[in-house]
Amino acid sequence: DYILNKDYFIAVIEDLIEMAEEKKEYFIQLDSAIGDGDHGMNLSIGFREVSKNLEEWKSEDINTIFKNAGTALLDKVGGAAGPLYGGFFMKFGLPVKGKDEVTFDEFIEMMESGVAIIEKRGKAVVGDATMVDTLRPAVDAMKKAYHDDGCSPKEAMKIAMEVGAQGSDSTVPLVAKKGRAMRLGERAIGHRDPGSASSAAMLEIFYKHMP
Ligand code: ADP
Ligand code: MG
Ligand code: MG
């Protein structure tokens, strides 16, 4: 049976920490065009805090590791992305409480649990030009690929990553309906939503490390 173990999730977190540094300037650029320019800094601050403590958390179960990471993001990151990504990671492991490895069905539940709290907290739907434009279609596509279309777990995650990237692309011509970019009205047209870009980068990492 297909199993994702704790090593997979730790590799993902370690890569998220690296990605937040590598893409910091890019996220700052995107957010400077239609927001307050801090999205790259927010993620960097949050994931540096995760990085400081990850070694200590490694002996915990998957849910506790992500709960700790989510709490760190929530505590350290202000603005919109802190509570949204903080919430994502705090809820991500909840469906597999106490476990050290999960099936792909459980992984899908974890993704659903994380994305659902972002939708609940932010009250954004697809088309509002937020991270939800990346994450919701990605999770739905992953479910369909795995449950209906006979894709393997890694193929299903690849489809999620691709659909998520398209979802981020889809924010470019949109007027934002949530977050700071909302205030720009039509002036937001032609700009990628920063949170949709960071979410797409996260999906790439979940794909990349999958066995
Ligand atoms: P802030 O806008 O407070 O400065 P960030 O710049 O870190 O916070 O994050 C901005 C991103 O957060 C946006 O690009 C968008 O994707 C996401 N976002 C903002 N508001 C919402 C919301 N209500 N629902 C979902 N995502 C949101
Ligand atoms: Mg910002
Ligand atoms: Mg801000």
pLDDT by 10s per residue, the chain, length 211: 899 999 999 999 999 999 999 999 999 999 999 999 999 999 999 999 999 999 999 999 999 999 999 999 999 998 899 999 999 999 999 999 999 999 999 999 999 999 999 999 999 999 999 999 999 999 999 999 999 999 999 999 999 999 999 999 999 999 899 998 988 888 889 999 999 999 999 999 999 999 9
Nearest-atom index, ligand 1, CA of 193:
14
Q: Which ligand is closest to the CA of 85, given by its number? A: 1
Q: Which ligand is closest to the CA of 76, given by its number? A: 1
180 secondary structure, DSSP code: G
Residue 135: predicted pLDDT: 99
Determine contact, residues 178/127, Cβ cutoff 8 Å.
no
Residue 113: predicted pLDDT: 98
The structural domains of the chain, ordered by start, are 4-208 (1.25.40.340)
Residue 69: predicted pLDDT: 98
Q: Ligand 1 centre from 119 Cα, in Å?
A: 12
Ligand 1 contact, 96 CB (< 6 A) = no
Nearest-atom index, ligand 1, CA of 198:
16
Residue 120: predicted pLDDT: 98
Residue 41: predicted pLDDT: 97
Residue 160: half-sphere exposure toward Cβ, Cα within 13 Å: 32
Instruction: Give this complex's ipTM.
Output: 0.99
Determine contact, residues 197/168, Cβ cutoff 8 Å.
yes
Q: Which ligand is closest to the CA of 83, given by its number? A: 1
Ligand 1 contact, 110 CB (< 6 A) = no
Ligand 1 contact, 195 CB (< 6 A) = yes
CA distance 138 to 93: 18
Closest CA to 178 of 116, 112, 132: 132
